[in-house]
Amino acid sequence: MAGVRRLTPVEALVRYKAGARLIDVRSEAEQASGMAEGAEAISQDLLLEDAASRLPPDAEILLICQRGMRSLGVAEAMLKQGFVDIASIEGGIEAWQRDDLPTTAASLDADFLGRYSRQLRLPQVGIVGQRKLQQARVTLIGAGGLGAPAAFYLAAAGVGHLRLVDDDIVERSNLQRQILHVDAGVDFAAKVDSARERLLALNPKIEVEAVRVRIDADNVDAYVSDADVVMDGADNFPARHALNDACIRLGKPLVYGAVQRFDGQASVFDAGRQRGVAPCYRCLFPEAPDDAPNCAEAGVLGVVPGIIGLVQANEVIKLILNVGDPLIGRLLQFDALAMRFRETRLRADPDCPACGKRD
């Protein structure tokens, strides 16, 4: 059995023009940066799994990757699958481009490919998933301890439109945990404006909408109705209840988080889309507890809202991409002193005042 032929890009182009099949084995993200003209996109994973279902074993096949190593390995595997005339292009697409051979134009701009390159390599994301993130609209209630870390990572991940809703100004006591804000803004900068400036400095390719208002039952619908996902970073029960009720009414998934002292918790409430199956926030807290202190009264270790906020950001991204297992029906609890996570199952309460059975 003949081995794998190794061709220069110029030699490969001659064989392609003579009728050989030119196959780009790179990932979708790499292919989006530009391909050899005439190349067909079939990833190495598909070829290694079952090349014969995608290509005729008796055809002349030319494989190209980024630098020539992956294509050589795939070619050797395909020989073992029964292919008889297969070649690997030395130097890959980089050598092809250096030789000024014809290519198809990149389908995505260089900033997109470079900025999100690590996510694009994930099969659960890829170009299609990154486009979903780019087109998504997320409303974050609160630009404080939870909203700050979550917003940073959602912006970095490429969520295309972030709406931040908060009516506070930056205070010195915020800086210990609310990492979106800086000392220069203390006592005068609105949190949403401070946050917008930092987020756009990180990723100028997204839109950040700053809404300086205190959320309540009368105005909440206006800021939730067009969102794909809503994140709860509020610091009081009336706002949380108003947000929960609006998300049920409008059919929006709500990513919840809360912190106090050394503890935090997070969940996803999706009763608006899964009434009677998924619980809502009021299933957990039907009414505001009489003895629940806020962070100003009880204190909080600065890293705890960072950890919970990132859990929330992770859940937002999963919901947008529709991947993994969201925290629906599960309450994730974190103990920073013990460095322990534990999980409690939550069930929809049929008597819940917000999502329970209706007469």
Mean pLDDT across the stretch 155-160? 98
Residue 174 lies in a domain: yes
Same domain, 189 and 284: yes
CB atoms within 10 A of CB 244: 26
Q: What is the pLDDT of residue 155?
A: 98
For residues 122-129, give the mean pLDDT. Answer: 87
Q: Are residues 19 and 127 in the same domain?
A: no
Q: Is residue 269 part of a domain?
A: yes
Domain boundary among 82, 107, 132: 107
> Predicted confidence band at 290 (pLDDT cuts at 50, 70, 90)?
low
Task: Single out the residue in 107, 129, 147 at which a domain terminates.
Answer: 107
> pLDDT per residue over 307-359, tens digit each?
999 999 999 999 999 999 999 999 999 999 999 999 999 999 999 999 987 65
> What is residue 173's three-state secondary structure?
helix
Q: Are residues 132 and 57 part of one domain?
A: no
For the cut 80, the answer to whether the pLDDT of residue 291 exceeds it is: no
CATH at 81: 3.40.250.10
Where in the sequence numbering do the catalytic residues fall?
295
State the total domains in the chain.
2
At 294, the pLDDT band (50, 70, 90 cuts) reads low
Q: Is 251:231 a contact under the CB 8 Å cutoff?
A: no
Domain that holds residue 166: 117-345
In a domain, 353, yes or no: no
> Is 352 domain-assigned?
no
Task: Classify residue 356: in a domain, yes or no.
Answer: no
Looking at the fold, whether 191 and 327 belong to one and the same domain comes out as: yes
Same domain, 102 and 219: no
Q: CA–CA separation, 324 vs 318, rounded Å?
A: 6
Closest CA to 22 of 32, 12, 31: 12
pLDDT score at 2: 67
In a domain, residue 58? The reply is yes
User: Edge-to-edge strands of the sheet including 340-345?
Assistant: 207-211, 161-165, 137-141, 229-232, 254-260, 263-269, 330-335, 340-345
